Amino acid sequence: MPDEDVVELIMNDHREVERLFEALRTRPADRPLLMPQLASLLIAHSRAEESEVYPVARDEAGETEEVAHSQEEHEQADALLGELSKLDPASAEFDSKLEELIEGVTHHVEEEESTVLPGMRERLSDARRAELAQAFSEARAAHLGDQPGGETREELVQKAQNLGVAGAGSMSKDEVKEQLPRP
């Protein structure tokens, strides 16, 4: 079996998120069961990208602006997941927030699949992408079940670095949080 490719793993997660979005739209009665699945997948996927993929995409594939933009979109998705977790899945407000999340994540996926991922395919060797696939898979597995807003200081520092915030490594957790965009 050939080595896995981090680009393919990321795109597989994107397809699963799209499947969950469709189910959330068409099966409202199943939302209490589907939302935890969606939140778990989105958060684990985002954290793995932020810790393992984005630093390499930025430093080795030259995708600096795209990584910063993608990090901002992750912040927005995390905030919306947090808001959705507090709403009644049968409410009109939930419908509205869900559509906002779907729109934002769909936009993010389209951008990532048209800029960052092709850049990684072009500029990183097959072996490097296989190495990243392993790191991404391990980080993703470690974060399954995480909830919005539950990042460690180290995870927040990585987000800030992905955004290009200078000196984040010497800041306290609260100081780093202040440097992150607020949706």
Domain limits of the chain? 6-179
- Terminal CA-to-CA distance of the chain, rounded, Å? 42
| Those residues with Cβ within 8 angstroms of residue 114's Cβ, 6 or more apart along the chain or in another chain | none
Nearest by Cα to 139 from 26, 43, 34, 30: 43
pLDDT at 89: 95
Residue 55 banded pLDDT, cuts 50, 70, 90? very high
**Segments in 5-63 forming alpha helices (H):** 6-26, 31-48, 54-59
pLDDT in tens, 7-45: 999 999 999 999 999 999 999 999 999 999 999 999 999
Residue 171 banded pLDDT, cuts 50, 70, 90? confident
Residue 95 banded pLDDT, cuts 50, 70, 90? very high
Residue 183 banded pLDDT, cuts 50, 70, 90? low
Residue 69 predicted with pLDDT over 70: yes
pLDDT at 8: 96
pLDDT at 156: 84
